[in-house]
Amino acid sequence: MIAIKLIFFLGIGVFFIWIFMRNISPEDRKEILHTFFNANYYWILFSIMLGLMSHISRTMRWMILMEPMGYKPKFKNAFLGLMVGYLANLAIPRLGEVTRCGVLTKYEKIPLHKSFGTVVTERAIDMISLLLVFVLTLIINFDKFAKFKETSIAKNAIEKYHELQHPGRLYIISGLVFIAIIVLFLKFRHKISGYTFYKKIKSIILGFVEGLKSLTKIKKPFWFVFHSIFIWFMYLLMAWVVFFSLPETSNLGLNVALAVLAFGSIGIIVVQGGIGIYPWIIAEILLIFYIPQTKGYAMGWLLWTGQTLMIIVSGFLAMILLPLLNNKKDDPGTENIK
């Protein structure tokens, strides 16, 4: 099943690569490859270092969220678990969230459903942060994005929208199904309350609630806000410094990097790991800032390659280091048993 899902998401990525490349001439393809392989990769390495700094900051923020519940995991296990989670997410959507919590369950004895509640909180904060990045992007680049509707991405989205003859019908059906599930649950809850799966689901939900409540009980609010800002600032710098790897993009400012961050994040959300679609989106965004499509597409692949390479290498290293660093006779997680 996992192999099928992996092939499926890789297939989607290949499909988006084909969509872009089918309209590219052989000469342009050669130019893209030449640009990609002749970039200054020192800037890519610098970008990777900035990315690792953002992950370190995310780890510290995660630990702040777990503190109100009485859990203080070791930094090494929380950080390595985070990197293993990112690696898992490249294969299957949302698998990484469970995986990194599983690492803490194994090495720190923290119940999975409780640490997962803090991850839910993190995701909610990230979505709010991404929304703020979008708003800031549109405000700063308002004059440029008046042209966005002319890009192929926007045109495809508009066409798909018009193909939906009754867009409201889907919401009505979904709402009715949701109401029916609630009614059936309330009617038969006493009969199913004794089943193991019901107890397990209830335990998970209660863990989610406790994890969400941790946000209101954090003991270090200043550092929590600091890390939340620092994470996204590092994301911004990660994109910006890669611009210096090509002569054609070296003069682009932070405002362009902000646009790349905002719209590139959508590509990563839509397609697992952003494979295929991420470089396409970056090429379309940079075209608005007068960067030729071939150079923009090459830049998209440089950005995607650096980020993905960091996740793959650090993820596999984390898998190797976790058992080695925790190979002790004493139980490293006894202090977290509650």
Report the distance separating Cα 241 and Cα 264, nearest Å.
15
Cα–Cα distance, 92 to 2 (Å, whole number): 8
* Closest among 111, 155, 176, 120 to 284, alpha carbons compared: 155
Per-residue confidence (pLDDT) for residue 209, from 0 to 100:
63
Ordered by start, the domain boundaries in the chain are 32-327
CA-closest candidate to residue 72, choices 27, 115, 21: 115
CA 113, CA 119: separation in Å to the nearest integer? 10
pTM for this structure?
0.76
DSSP structure class, residue 143: T
The tens place of each residue's pLDDT in the chain, 338 residues long, gives: 445 544 555 555 555 555 555 566 677 678 888 888 899 999 999 999 999 999 999 999 999 988 888 889 999 999 999 999 988 888 776 777 888 889 999 999 888 877 888 888 888 888 889 989 988 988 888 777 666 555 555 555 445 445 444 555 555 666 666 576 666 655 656 666 555 555 556 555 655 565 566 667 788 889 999 999 999 999 999 999 999 999 999 999 999 999 999 988 887 777 666 677 888 888 888 988 888 888 988 998 899 888 888 988 999 999 999 999 988 654 544 455 44
How many whole angstroms separate alpha carbon 170 and alpha carbon 176? 10
SS3 249: coil
Write out pLDDT tens, residues 286-319. 988 888 888 988 998 899 888 888 988 999 999 9
Pair 257, 236: CB distance under 8 Å: yes
Chain Cα centroid distance, residue 323: 26
Q: Would you call 331 helix, strand, or coil by DSSP?
A: coil
pLDDT number for residue 293: 85
**Alpha carbon distance 135, 140 (integer Å):** 9
- Average pLDDT of the chain? 78
Burial of 88 (0-12, 13-18, 19+ CB in 10 A): buried
Query: What are the structure tokens assigned to 145, written together?
Result: 């994005």
Three-state SS at 319: helix
Burial tier of 26 (Cβ tally within 10 Å: 0-12, 13-18, 19+): exposed
- Distance separating alpha carbons of residues 244 and 41, to the nearest angstrom: 10
For 217, the token pair is 């009980």
Please choose, from the candidates 229, 228, 286, the residue with its C-alpha nearest in 3D space to the C-alpha of residue 257: 286
Single-letter residue type at 255: N
| Residue (of 52, 40, 111, 44) closest to 86 by Cα position | 52
The pLDDT of residue 337: 47
Q: Evaluate whether 295 touches 314 at the Cβ level (below 8 Å).
A: no
CA distance 74 to 36: 40
Mind listing the pLDDT tens digit for each residue in 17-72?
A: 555 555 666 776 788 888 888 999 999 999 999 999 999 999 999 999 888 888 89
pLDDT of 206 reads: 59
